[in-house]
């Protein structure tokens, strides 16, 4: 199978083109903040609760709130039924999501408390961790939690010997390499950086730059989603 031919990819995109992305803020009424992201065929909900009292007490930090992230894939989110509950993969993604979000959330404003971030993958098609982080940061902002910046996330990778942006399912499964990142747009700092597969140093550099460009596009959509929520009753 040829994954890329004359610069056109298997799903018809160009090398530096993202899948279609839709972001909506404030979709769940019970949560303090929430967001819904449709990214290609990915469908992701993020719900934020808190800051609230933390139990057990020994987890409390006297100087800041702690973040608790939970990434979960619905059993029907993939073609073959996924066994429900946490597994190695989702525990790992929960952990990297937390470490990606921690530097942007101003946790020192709410000492001794906890902020819960729940990410639910309803439908999956490669790149769910990026979609999850993108949704989670919009949900955090929607909850009114002070943040240094929104946190867009996006992947780049190597497919058929070429560096491409935002891998789809076939490219993820049969491509050479995948490199998801999360970037703080204000400073250009990177809070998530993972890679599987193999790439040379130059290729990583190229993929990183491409993924950063993708993050900037997603950042604009995140801003738009948050502003859209209040546009209805705003007079401009």
Partner 1 sequence: MIYVKDRKIVVPGELVATGNFRVYSGAEKEGKNIYSTVVGIVYTDPEKKSIKIVPLKGKYVPRIGDSVIGMVEELALKKAIVDINSPYKGILDVRDASMNRNAEINRLFSVGDIVYAKVMSVSDSVVLYAKPPYGKLREGRIITIPSTKIPRVIGKKGSMISLIKKYTECRIYVGQNGTIWIKGKSEKEDLAIKAIEIINSESHLSGLTDKIMRLLEEKVI
CB of 43 to partner 1, least distance (A): 23
Task: Say whether residue 147 binds partner 1 (CB under 8 A).
Answer: yes
Question: Which of 37-45, 126-134, 196-204, 220-228 is the region at the interface with partner 1 (rule: CB under 8 A)?
Answer: 220-228
Q: Beta strand 153-159 with 113-123: parallel, antiparallel or unpaired? A: unpaired
Distances (CA, A) of 147 to 101, 103, 142: 9, 9, 11
Considering only 40, 50, 127, 132, the residue that binds partner 1 (CB under 8 A) is 50
Nearest Cα to Cα of residue 40 among 117, 163, 118, 134 = 134
Retrieve residue 117's tokens: 């971030």
Specify whether the CB–CB gap between 171 and 8 falls below 8 A: no
Task: Say whether residue 146 binds partner 1 (CB under 8 A).
Answer: yes
Q: What are phi and psi of 179, to 5 degrees?
A: -135, 90
Task: Say whether residue 236 binds partner 1 (CB under 8 A).
Answer: yes
- Report the distance separating Cα 189 and Cα 182, nearest Å: 9
Considering only 59, 91, 106, 196, the residue that binds partner 1 (CB under 8 A) is 106
Q: Per-residue contact track with partner 1, 166 to 205, x per CB under 8 A?
A: ------------------xxx-------------------
Interface contacts to partner 1, rule CB under 8 A: 32-33, 50-53, 65, 104, 106, 109-110, 112-113, 141-150, 184-186, 222-223, 226-227, 230, 233-236
């Amino acid at each position: 199978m040829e994954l890329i031919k004359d610069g056109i990819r298997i799903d018809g995109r160009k090398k530096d083109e993202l899948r279609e992305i839709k972001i909506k803020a404030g979709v769940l009424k019970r949560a303090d903040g929430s967001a819904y992201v449709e990214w290609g065929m990915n469908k992701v909900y993020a719900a934020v609760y808190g800051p609230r009292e933390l139990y057990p007490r020994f987890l409390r930090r006297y100087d800041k709130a702690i973040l608790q992230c939970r990434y979960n894939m619905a059993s029907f989110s993939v073609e073959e039924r996924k066994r429900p509950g946490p597994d190695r993969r989702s525990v790992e993604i929960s952990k990297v999501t937390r470490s990606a979000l921690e530097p942007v959330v101003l946790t020192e404003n709410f000492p001794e408390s906890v902020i819960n971030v729940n990410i639910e993958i309803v439908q999956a098609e490669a790149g769910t961790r990026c979609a999850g982080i993108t949704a989670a940061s919009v949900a955090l902002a929607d909850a009114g939690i002070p943040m240094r910046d929104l946190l867009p996330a996006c992947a780049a990778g190597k497919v058929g010997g070429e560096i491409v942006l935002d891998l789809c399912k076939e490219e993820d499964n049969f491509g050479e390499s995948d490199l998801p990142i999360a970037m703080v747009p204000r400073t250009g700092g990177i809070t998530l950086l993972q890679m599987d597969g193999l790439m040379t140093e130059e290729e990583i550099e190229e993929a990183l730059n491409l993924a950063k460009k993708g993050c900037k596009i997603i950042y604009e959509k995140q801003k738009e989603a948050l502003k859209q929520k209040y546009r209805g009753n705003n007079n401009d």
